[in-house]
Amino acid sequence: MTTVFDEVATGTKKLTVGQAVNRALGDALATDERVLLQGEDIGALGGVYRVTEGLAARFGSDRVVDAPLGESGIVGTSIGLAQAGFVPVAEIQFDGFVYPAFDQIVSQLAKMHSRFQGSQQFPVTIRLPYGGGIGSVEHHSESPEAYFAHTAGLKVVTYSNAHDAYWVTRAAIASADPVLLLEPKKHYFVRGEVDFDVPTDNPFATSKS
């Protein structure tokens, strides 16, 4: 599904939403050595929807990490990595698999800013493919955003087109605070123009969803 990109993006290009996310992740890895990705099957396989395809080959298995099956552990280690100075981007493979990590997200990650009285930053992005419309079974087509949207200390964002997919993903990774990034599975293969030279102004507030 995706294309392996060797250079940081410039100009305008027509991509699918999934390719735009891949591009955003690759550009973040290329421009900030603190960024690393972890999740189930995101390395050699390139993710269930191939959104991370080619990134492990380009950046190595120490920055694109195939994590064990354990969502709580994926988020928990991301918290520790952030505290150690890294910028982790964690993928939960499917929306219905996020619940084992609920305590780590709501009771731990979202509260770290207040726990440390703002003295430490926890720039953790959690990528969560979500939503129905693709004919999937239970645990693979859920919309759990309401559980998280009312959680203080956690940004919950989404998008619906390739341009916003790129810029919202970049903004999430650049955020000093935790972000739950909801990726609409139904839109992964929808194509659109991405302008890499003109960022969306305040993408968390103005992206179309």
Please tell me whether residue 141 adopts helix, strand or coil conformation: coil
User: Could you tell me the pLDDT band of residue 131, with boundaries at 50, 70 and 90?
Assistant: confident
Total count of domains within the chain? 1
Residue type at position 129: P
Q: Is residue 203 part of a domain?
A: no
Among 66-70, 133-137, 164-168, which stretch is predicted with the lowest mean pLDDT?
Answer: 133-137
Max mean pLDDT among 137-146, 172-181, 199-208 falls in 172-181
Q: Is residue 46 part of a domain?
A: yes
Would you say residue 189 lies in a domain?
yes
Instruction: Determine, yes or no, domain membership for 1.
Output: no
Active site residues: 140
| Bridge partner list, 126 | 90, 180
The tens digit of pLDDT for each residue in 18-58 reads 999 999 999 999 999 999 999 999 999 999 999 999 999 99
- Give the domain range for residue 178: 14-196
Is 190 inside a domain boundary? yes
Considering only CA atoms, which of 85, 115, 90, 69 is closest in space to residue 180? 90
The encoded tokens of residue 108 equal: 């731990």
Tokens 């995101």 label which residue?
42
Q: What is the percentage of the chain residues whose pLDDT exceeds 90?
A: 74
Tell me the pLDDT of the chain averaged across its residues: 90
The answer as to whether 209 is a domain residue is no
pLDDT band with cut points at 50, 70 and 90 for residue 209: very low
CA atoms within 13 A on the CB side of 19: 16
The predicted pLDDT at position 54 comes to 97
**Do the domain assignments include residue 124?**
yes
Q: Domain containing 108 — which CATH number? A: 3.40.50.970
Q: What is the DSSP letter of 139?
A: T
| Segment 159-170, tens digit of pLDDT | 999 999 999 999
The model's confidence at residue 197, banded by pLDDT at 50, 70 and 90, is confident
CA atoms within 13 A on the CB side of 201: 0
Assess if residue 114 is contained within a domain: yes
